[in-house]
């Protein structure tokens, strides 16, 4: 009866596996390191976008598409949606943050309270 020879990986393959594992660990560590500032920037951008777009839409009476022209450079990832009945605009940064501003007569556009 023949015995099967155990399959062993070559030293080169083991080095590449270790390097891939090291790269994955470094990427995860980098994401953990920048998560809080990135999340804060996303929330700030979404809040700014919601308030500016709400004022543009419900105070100035412009269309939501034209309100994007009022954004600062670097706000390309912010997405806008409106609720005509509630007089509100929601701005979101994909997968990280979302904020809503609601128009109230006499007060203007107000952001929802932040939850820490």
Question: Tens digit of pLDDT for each residue in 8-42?
Answer: 667 788 889 999 999 999 999 998 888 888 889 99
Domain assignment of residue 93, yes or no: yes
Domain count, the chain: 1
Q: Is residue 11 part of a domain?
A: no
**Strands (E) located in the chain:** 79-83, 88-93, 97-104, 108-111
Q: What is the pLDDT of residue 51?
A: 94
Does residue 60 surpass a pLDDT of 60?
yes
**Residue numbers of the domain that contains 97:** 23-111
Q: Which residues contact 42 (CB under 8 A, 6 or more apart)?
A: 93, 96, 97
Let me know if residue 10 belongs to a domain.
no
pLDDT at 65: 86
Judge whether residue 2 has pLDDT over 80: no
- Residue 53 domain-assigned (yes or no): yes
Query: Residue 62: inside a domain, yes or no?
Result: yes
* Residue 58: per-residue pLDDT: 92
> How far is residue 50's CA from residue 64's CA, in Å, rounded to a whole number?
11
């Amino acid at each position: 009866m023949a015995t099967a020879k155990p399959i062993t990986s070559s030293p080169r393959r083991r080095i590449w596996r270790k390097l891939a594992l090291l790269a994955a660990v470094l990427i995860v560590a980098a994401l953990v390191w920048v998560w809080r500032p990135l999340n804060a920037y996303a929330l700030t951008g979404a809040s700014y976008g919601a308030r500016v777009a709400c004022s543009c839409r419900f105070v100035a009476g412009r269309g939501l598409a034209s309100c994007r022209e009022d954004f600062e450079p670097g706000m390309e990832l912010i997405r806008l949606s409106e609720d005509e009945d509630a007089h509100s605009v929601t701005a979101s940064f994909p997968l990280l943050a979302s904020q809503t501003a609601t128009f109230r007569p006499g007060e203007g556009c107000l952001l929802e309270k932040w939850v820490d």
